[in-house]
A and B are shown apart, each in its own frame.
Chain A
Amino acid sequence: MARTLKLRIWRGDDKTGALQDVTVEANHGEVVLDIIHRVQATQMGDLAVRWNCKAGKCGSCSMEINGKPRLACMTQVASYPEDETITITPLRAFPVIKDLVTDVSFNYKKAMEIPSVSMPADLKPGEPRMQQIDVERSQEFRKCIECFLCQDTCHVIRDHEENKKSFAGPRFFIRIAELDMHPLDTLRNRKKSAQEEHGLGMCNITKCCTEVCPEHIRITDNAIIPMKERVVDEKYDPLRWLGSKIRKREGIL
């Protein structure tokens, strides 16, 4: 064993809970999820934690480590000083179910509110052809593993529960951007619905979503701001609006 680790793990449910102190051994090269499993195996047999791939690809083990939203499987124990107590809590933007497991169903409801890609009616299966340069912007967003760390850190819903009704969150802004930038998508109201139904205007681009993304998707720069600019094209730029009416440019956009 390389070191003795002091932890504070939040334990409880949606009614009550508290941080509990634990001391546990940690091996060289281990990640926080390894340590949680050791605690589970040796000291807290009923500790609830959601996990799956242990490789940073499933997005299950999202939690907050020393107050920062992170994947436990991608957080090296060695990145913390030896004398530091590591505090582990569930995601604080979502209702807790038990211990480190939260109810993230908010995100699935929001996902269902976004219409999927709508291909031209005359295109048959196997016929769509797209140039690589036309799809590579959207491909960045397809890296999303739905860990919901961006949703958790977004202050619009983290600090204002009441906004959850009208705000989809950064994960779904990249989904909308992906579809709006899709060369073959025929739905033309995505910009309007992003602003009016999914709360794009509530984002004040403080870039926390980008900071916590384990896939390093440039959520703000490549999805949210481009969508905001597209909304400006439609709603707040009379010259663009006039140009689109006169020259019917929407087809090439």
Chain B
Amino acid sequence: MATGVFSEGRAKISERTLRTDKWWIQPLITVLVLLAFIVYATFRAFENGNYFAEPLISPFYSPCLSTACVAGASLLGTPFGIIHIFGMVLSPALLILIFPLGFRLTCYYYRKAYYRSFWMSPPACAVAEPHAKYTGETRAPLIMQNAHRWFFYAGLVFNVLLTTDAILAFRNSEKQWGHMSVGTLVLLANSTFLWLYSLSCHTCRHTVGGRLRNFSKHPFRYKAWTFVSKLNHYHQNFAWVSLIGVALADVYVREVATHAITNWYFF
């Protein structure tokens, strides 16, 4: 039986949409950028190498928690031994990436992006989606989107660790403090973008004050909520900038680690 815009009683129009603008460009770009990131991140997560060049560590491998990590790369020690799966050593990146991945996967902005572009639900506003049934986020697996706040909290821990990595990058390769290189700036920019992405998050906005009914009884939280609300306006921008920032930071560390480029020191 016909449903949606072709339902009984609705205006008899045969087209799924009458939009004349190029509504398909935005979902197409989203698919291309996210696919490029997924392919690159998957390659790097499984590569299990070229992620550390004193004092720089790739954000994909930090914190490095396995005894499989290269010497000097483990900020928090190595609580995990070498794990073999199908005869291969498990990359240390695979132990931690579920947290940033989960944070982005359940992010309110990315949900909009991939529901529209990958699942076409809907591909664009007032463009009929191709699915016969729709239950939204009411049942498994999509009900797990409600776990966003837990990934948000985990993401904050990662931000602290990646900021620590950036601070540690104010050393030279002999671990002496008081130096700054291009890599330092790369890691600093990466951690800054990640903080902006996390602090502009809708869950952050809710946590700092959005859940209150009476702002007047909580003036400090009201100010915090107002600040986060301003950041929240740009959450989409921060989502993209931080995603690309992580990839570029990793590319830079990889290039230094493979000696393709030299990490140039300002002082």
CB atoms of B11 and A225 under 8 A apart: no
Q: For the complex, count residues of A whose C-beta is within 8 A of B.
A: 63
Shortest C-beta distance, B155 to chain A (Å), equals 16
A53-70 interface bits toward B, Cβ cutoff 8 Å, 1 = contact, 0 = none: 000000000001011110
B123-166 interface bits toward A, Cβ cutoff 8 Å, 1 = contact, 0 = none: 00111110101111110001100111100000000000000000
Task: Kindly state the separation between the CA atoms of A193 and B13 in the bound complex, as whole angstroms.
Answer: 36
**Given A92-B5, A155-B122, A211-B125, A252-B213 contact (CB < 8 Å):** yes
**Given A90-B11, A159-B134, A225-B202, A67-B212 contact (CB < 8 Å):** no
Return chain A residues, CB-CB under 8 Å to B232: 221
Contacting A at CB under 8 A, from B161-198, are none
Asked if A253 is an interface residue, CB under 8 A from chain B, the answer is yes
Query: A212 is contacted by which of B125, B146, B215, B216 (Cβ under 8 Å)?
Result: B125
Asked if B19 is an interface residue, CB under 8 A from chain A, the answer is yes
Return chain A residues, CB-CB under 8 Å to B212: 252-253
CB atoms of A221 and B202 under 8 A apart: yes
Shortest C-beta distance, A163 to chain B (Å), equals 7
Query: A161 is contacted by which of B3, B135, B149 (Cβ under 8 Å)?
Result: B3
CB atoms of A225 and B4 under 8 A apart: no
**Given A211-B125, A253-B212, A18-B12 contact (CB < 8 Å):** yes
CB atoms of A204 and B126 under 8 A apart: no
CB atoms of A89 and B108 under 8 A apart: no
Task: Kindly state the separation between the CA atoms of A250 and B148 in the bound complex, as whole angstroms.
Answer: 22
Asked if A226 is an interface residue, CB under 8 A from chain B, the answer is yes
B84-98 interface bits toward A, Cβ cutoff 8 Å, 1 = contact, 0 = none: 000000000000000
Contacting A at CB under 8 A, from B24-49, are none
Shortest C-beta distance, B174 to chain A (Å), equals 45
**Considering only CB atoms, which chain B residue lies closest to A233 in the complex?**
B211
Shortest C-beta distance, B3 to chain A (Å), equals 5
Contacting B at CB under 8 A, from A1-27, are 10, 12, 14, 16-19
Return chain B residues, CB-CB under 8 Å to A159: 3-5, 122, 128-129, 131, 134
Return chain B residues, CB-CB under 8 Å to A84: 20
Shortest C-beta distance, B12 to chain A (Å), equals 5
CB atoms of A229 and B133 under 8 A apart: no
Asked if B121 is an interface residue, CB under 8 A from chain A, the answer is yes
Task: Kindly state the separation between the CA atoms of A229 and B138 in the bound complex, as whole angstroms.
Answer: 14
Task: Kindly state the separation between the CA atoms of A94 and B122 in the bound complex, as whole angstroms.
Answer: 18
**Given A134-B216, A204-B137, A207-B112, A64-B143 contact (CB < 8 Å):** no
Shortest C-beta distance, B121 to chain A (Å), equals 6
CB atoms of A232 and B146 under 8 A apart: yes
Asked if B222 is an interface residue, CB under 8 A from chain A, the answer is yes
Return chain B residues, CB-CB under 8 Å to A134: 213-216
- Extra contacts besides A67-B17, A183-B214 (4): CB < 8 Å: A153-B126, A199-B138, A226-B205, A252-B218
